[in-house]
Structure 1
């Protein structure tokens, strides 16, 4: 008993000492205009504790009493070390990094002497008056902010996006079936956010409306029966044309508690080629995967495969218990050389197969900018490679990083054909969302090859249009073909799709003029489904199954006024309208930014993570950019020269999508 008392006393003394030896520092990080900066890495010096700022720029960190400095760093900003002193509240202002500031010479449509562009070496900027006089506003892709600084436009680059024809209206009498594979990817939203936050509207091909909608979390009811997926539907008037109807078809996947998730066999496949050297690529990638490493359990294992000119194993399969060892390998990575992405993919599947967990989650996490330039590199070759691996039981997650040479089209193919999902990481906050907040959905599949087929009743539906999902369309016969690949849903995932409907009897210029059909009238008059607007059919397989299961739901012809629809319906509709505006859709009709803002503001809800609030700010910024767009379409080549002190070489940004 005496010994027990001594032990308790010692523990109490140690705890008391520990609490006295630590201190808590809180504060807010902003830019020079007072705007909050989220995702800032805050760490003590010497480093022992780290945290990051939240959506409002706030942070709180507990550090040892003897730490005198805090370090603040974020992509796109100059790092800063701040003396703590006796402060308990430490607010910090970060300045934009000078790496983004350039001497500029425009070559092409503007015949202007280089000397006319006066470069201020103290502020490392070009005065607006100088650039306006020299280029006369004709150089697309040079953006000035209120501080007179200029940045290269993301539109002046070698990024690649798939060119897809937008879905048009189809007559329900002649084409009553609409079939598509679900899509849980959200890369398009964070990518277009990157464009807008750097002062540019995105290329229209970069806008995939369904990925924008599915970026956000929705409070749909969980499945209650044996099926791991629930079907939710609502019908209202289309916000951009009140004569049209908007049908929401939503899916909610079963959410599995983390402790009940199967053990993981993961392979971090990391691009360490020379194109990954910039701060928003490999350094951000490493920070992201370290966040994921913190979520690993002892029963989880991870290997690290890297590729540049060749592929190699940087870390053999290692238990998640050894987090320090995994992070040490991540911290040791450096970018150099060419990019043999196909070689890396082959090696990653080899390592994943060697460590395959029969009853576990086997997955490769590919992190890259997609710029493959050695070996197998064409989209078709890579698609063939990934298809050959699809039946191995190994899933694929693709994380995209960077800008300038970003290859979105290539990474979409890899994720779509490799039984996987695709996210674009533009900051640490996004990494936290994808790899922490949505950990189960990103990594653990509960239903695979999920397909939807909607049959429209021509008695009420004259024509319909699927909003988005252009690269997910399937043939009618593909729905019952279990060999046809489709999208996968992870733990807790939601999927939202919208159909815009032109009701029977409504005259509309969006419809093509065709003659009435001779043999359909009698069929319609004798239809037994007079109260049904449409029928939803869903097929899915279990993660290890090869035979699909069928679910059906009938949607009645009942219209709920928009103001009475759920917040999730109204907010998702606002995102869809915003996507059509950014895409410059031929079907945007009366859509406008003011309507998007009003609809989203009234449907924001609790928004505990702040994503919907951030969406509203993004729409407002896009609205301002749209109002300030250049009225011409000049696309000159722009030669960019760093200040000599930046120790960088000449770059050329060529126009192109």
Structure 2
């Protein structure tokens, strides 16, 4: 489990600022923004982001409204998730309200801005440390925007999730939980003298027959908002796919929530699939959204059905919107964390756009030692619940972290692409009490760095060392692995790098352009488009490349 943070420590180091992390309720944030949108004039001013002076965000007289509305907000029912308190004057959720505002394509849609990593001089800090992340929601949220003909909200773009959506075809480890894969070549978008490093971590695959039995508790939002776009209908179809993939020895329970919560199916063996599917098919949208009650009841059901040695996981299917429930988000978050420590994990799956809370869905999964995915099509549901089911269910590493050590005699500066909200203090890499990320069977994690070499650095010298550290969930043993890359290991030409390396460069630049990164201000989506078109010849019949090219084409058309 890893608590996401608003700002990268990398971004704050250059100003000598020590980040303060204070938990606040998303509920308060949601209520405050909703009232502001409806009650305040739409005029906005722009202020620079702490982590990127080139980026600005709208702020709508929040300080004044906070004083006036403080008592009303504190008295209102709260949403259960918690966000991190922003440093004053920095961005949080992007838009919200009952109707679209300022030309936004969807109403009441919430995302969070985590800033952009800067370049770091190795003489100031030669270590880069972060928690591994296997969430993929950002890629499919972006896809939903583009297929609807809209440029994505820049705050919806998390570069690492876009990169980690792809199957990079890394070789499985010969032994242990992970294999490490390093590759380097000139950066096609970084300018003269800049190089790109790709670090891949591949988790071992586990056959369906070898995975542990699973006790799954579906927590299904059946509130009125789930009637929009037939969201509940998509949830039903997605869960049909999942149930049909379960083994007969697995068990399923179903808890639903609208204005209140109720159990519609007690723990039932998957061999009784008709009973499970009939319970799913009977669900209909109803009432308000008491997500707190739904999660509380689901944890109670999962706790009573708990068996040592099984996978115990809640799967929350929702649009992330909650409008009634208990006050005091801290109590609910403490409950989620307590059950996560007892090996009852929480994964979240988002549905719908407009009246959608990405912030809540992402942070609930983080608190619950789970992962966050977004379903925009039935094919995406199939990818999550059929093709990657074992990885979705069974964890092979807990509190997984990566630390990259750059040789200051060889590398002069570096920049990590993405992972802004996954930062871990360098000194905590070997502190096993610090929360980090969870990785499922067969999942891979990829990190990209742009670096610059010192002129005249000996090519045989080590340029960087990548280390990962994690806990084996079965034995409790803490394991550390490493791999190194020397200057002579880099390809002299970008075109000489592997096709998957070149694809990763294109995917990262696509995400950087969409989030309006300072470092991509000179780039055009047409540059990415040309590279991906060329790669279709090197990667024929690769559906993920074809899907990606379609999105790049749509983005390029919108950028013109």
TM-score (norm 1): 0.67
Give the match for residue 177 of structure 2. 228
Residue 540 (str. 1) matches residue 470 (str. 2): yes
**Mapped partners of 1:494, 1:279: distance in 2:** 32
Range that drifts further, 402-411 or 549-558: 549-558
Q: Check whether the contact 1:379–1:413 (CA below 8 A) recurs between aligned residues.
A: no
Shift of 1:307: 1.1
3-state DSSP of counterpart to 2:110? coil
Write the deviation string for residues 595-624 of structure 1: whole angstroms up to 9, x where unpaired. 212222333455656221011011111111
Q: Check whether the contact 1:155–1:202 (CA below 8 A) recurs between aligned residues.
A: no
Q: Check whether the contact 1:412–1:422 (CA below 8 A) recurs between aligned residues.
A: yes
Q: Check whether the contact 1:245–1:500 (CA below 8 A) recurs between aligned residues.
A: yes
Shift of 1:155: 3.3
Pairs within 5 Å for 1:486-635: 486-505=436-455, 531-558=461-488, 559-560=490-491, 561-588=493-520, 590-604=522-536, 605-606=538-539, 608=541, 610-627=543-560
Q: Check whether the contact 2:339–2:345 (CA below 8 A) recurs between aligned residues.
A: no
**Mapped partners of 2:379, 2:529: distance in 1:** 23
**Mapped partners of 1:306, 1:383: distance in 2:** 19
**Mapped partners of 2:254, 2:422: distance in 1:** 31
3-state DSSP of counterpart to 1:193? helix
Pairs within 5 Å for 1:279-290: 279-290=229-240
Q: Check whether the contact 2:529–2:556 (CA below 8 A) recurs between aligned residues.
A: no
3-state DSSP of counterpart to 2:433? coil
Shift of 1:503: 2.2
Give the match for residue 98 of structure 1. none
Task: Sort the Cα spacing of 1:398 and 1:154 in 2 relative to 1 into closer, same or farther, 3 A.
Answer: farther
Give the match for residue 187 of structure 2. 238
**Mapped partners of 2:556, 2:305: distance in 1:** 50
Write the deviation string for residues 401-456 of structure 1: whole angstroms up to 9, x where unpaired. 11111100111111112111110001111111111111111112112211001111
Q: Check whether the contact 1:297–1:321 (CA below 8 A) recurs between aligned residues.
A: yes
Pairs within 5 Å for 1:446-465: 446-465=396-415
**Mapped partners of 1:354, 1:264: distance in 2:** 14
Task: Sort the Cα spacing of 1:557 and 1:609 in 2 relative to 1 into closer, same or farther, 3 A.
Answer: closer
Residue 434 (str. 1) matches residue 366 (str. 2): no
**Mapped partners of 1:380, 1:206: distance in 2:** 25
3-state DSSP of counterpart to 2:180? strand
Write the deviation string for residues 366-394 of structure 1: whole angstroms up to 9, x where unpaired. 10111112224787665444223220111
Give the match for residue 369 of structure 2. 419
Tell me the C-alpha RMSD between the 2 structures: 2.5
**Mapped partners of 1:624, 1:381: distance in 2:** 47
Give the match for residue 327 of structure 1. 277
Residue 267 (str. 1) matches residue 217 (str. 2): yes
**Mapped partners of 1:337, 1:503: distance in 2:** 60
**Mapped partners of 2:552, 2:161: distance in 1:** 16
3-state DSSP of counterpart to 2:363? helix
3-state DSSP of counterpart to 1:420? coil
Range that drifts further, 207-216 or 440-449: 440-449
Which residue of 144, 166, 178 corresponds with 1:194? 144
Q: Check whether the contact 1:341–1:377 (CA below 8 A) recurs between aligned residues.
A: no
3-state DSSP of counterpart to 1:430? helix
**Mapped partners of 2:286, 2:394: distance in 1:** 33
The structure that has the greater radius of gyration is 1
Q: Check whether the contact 1:153–1:200 (CA below 8 A) recurs between aligned residues.
A: no
Q: Check whether the contact 1:397–1:443 (CA below 8 A) recurs between aligned residues.
A: no
**Mapped partners of 2:498, 2:333: distance in 1:** 40
Larger fraction in helix: 2
Which is bigger in relative contact order (C-alpha 8 A, separation at least 6)? 2
TM-score (norm 2): 0.78
How many residue pairs get matched? 461
Give the match for residue 4 of structure 2. none
Task: Sort the Cα spacing of 1:174 and 1:583 in 2 relative to 1 into closer, same or farther, 3 A.
Answer: same
Pairs within 5 Å for 1:53-72: none
Pairs within 5 Å for 1:468-487: 468-487=418-437
Shift of 1:156: 4.3
**Mapped partners of 1:191, 1:349: distance in 2:** 28
Task: Sort the Cα spacing of 1:532 and 1:390 in 2 relative to 1 into closer, same or farther, 3 A.
Answer: same
5+ long unaligned stretches in structure 2 = 1-40, 44-94, 96-101
